[in-house]
Amino acid sequence: MATSHPLSAPLTFASRFKDYMWGGRRLADLLGRDLPDGVVAESWEVSGHASEPSIVNRGPLLGRDLPGLVAEYGVSLLGTRGREAAERGVFPLLVKLLDATHALSVQVHPGNEYAAAHNLGEPGKTEMWYVLHAEQGACIIHGLQAGTDRAALRRAVARGTVPDCLNRVPVSPGDAIFVPAGTVHGILSGIVLVEIQQCSDTTYRIHDWDRPGPDGRPRQLHVERALDVIDFSGAVPASTAPRLVHEGGGVKREVLAECEHFVVERLGVDAACDFEARLGGETCEVWGILSGSATLGGGWGGALPLQSVGFALVPATMGRFRVRAGDAVVALRAYLP
């Protein structure tokens, strides 16, 4: 059955790949992704960022880019909770897959107020990570050691002892880590994860493991800007226990991260069971199937097959829809608060 309106069915997009030096081939080896040759560090799955906008890869909007759809459809796509973003023509979330074959730099992102005050041209960057794969002993960096203030970190940068100031946290598959703007962080080697974040690509590096960049020279650091935006209070834990919101009928829903920018849930749906919901214009949703297989169906009369690891954007005005598990499913569901 043909769709009655371009936004009456979920949207899927072609992946956009980044070849940063810390990547590898595990998005193919572990997730079965069809990758270009060479190093692949990131796969941008749902992006309205101007540098790598997502392109619709099926349906009546085939070939359209996400920023253009936001400009045309506004709150019909994003929902009333995204009105401010719609008025700016911005899709407010960015969803990626990351392959940290090697350690990323130690870095920090600014918040919205700093971004606006310094005319960065994009918002701040709060993010969350969901770990898909972690080698034995794998860790992330989340925050600073107790007692590390601005002066101490500045001295450590000058002396080359930044690693001594960092808080390392072991991680395992299924862990969710919330990384507010202002948090010093780093993804270390041996980790593959999903990142859900504000639609921003502003990063301030404070340490890069004394390694050369692709051109053979050290990559640029941004020490002063990093010191300006770091939250030295160290108040936010790396991970918190998922908050159960529903269990029954073969469906389990847990909130993994909740802030002013996004809410991320994890859903477990048993084989041959359904999860049903309705989007009545308040928010869009991004769905990511992490394991198993499912179909996403609704009033448009079709059923979109989703395999792991795959993502879809459900428009805010789509109405009732159903996620039906084939094999047992673990999924992420992100929406605007």
Task: Cite the active site residues.
Answer: 205
- Are 234 and 143 in contact, with CB atoms under 8 Å apart? yes
Would you say 282 and 79 are in contact if contact means Cβ atoms under 8 Å apart? yes
- Is the bond preceding 309 in cis, omega lying within 30 degrees of 0? yes
Q: What angle do CA 136, 332, 188 make, to 5 degrees?
A: 30
- Joined together, the tokens standing for residue 242 give 């998922």
CB 295 within 8 A of CB 278: no
Rounded-to-integer distance, Cα 290 and Cα 300, Å: 25
CB 282 within 8 A of CB 261: no
Contact, 88 vs 49, CB < 8 A?
A: no
Q: Which residues contact 215 (CB under 8 A, 6 or more apart)?
A: none
Contacts of 191 (CB under 8 A, 6+ apart): 98, 100, 131, 133, 134, 135, 138, 140, 171
DSSP letter for each residue of 55-99: EE-SSTTTT-BHHHHHHHHTHHHH-GGGHHHHHHT---EEEEEEE
Alpha carbon of residue 147 to chain centroid: 30
Cβ(293)–Cβ(329) under 8 Å? Answer: yes
Q: Which residues of 237-262 are buried (b: 16+ CB within 10 A; e: fewer)?
A: ebbeebeeeeeeeebbbbbbbeeebb
User: For the chain, what is the radius of gyration of the CA atoms?
Assistant: 20
Residue ranges in the chain assigned as alpha helix (H):
26-29, 66-73, 75-78, 83-88, 112-117, 150-159, 223-229
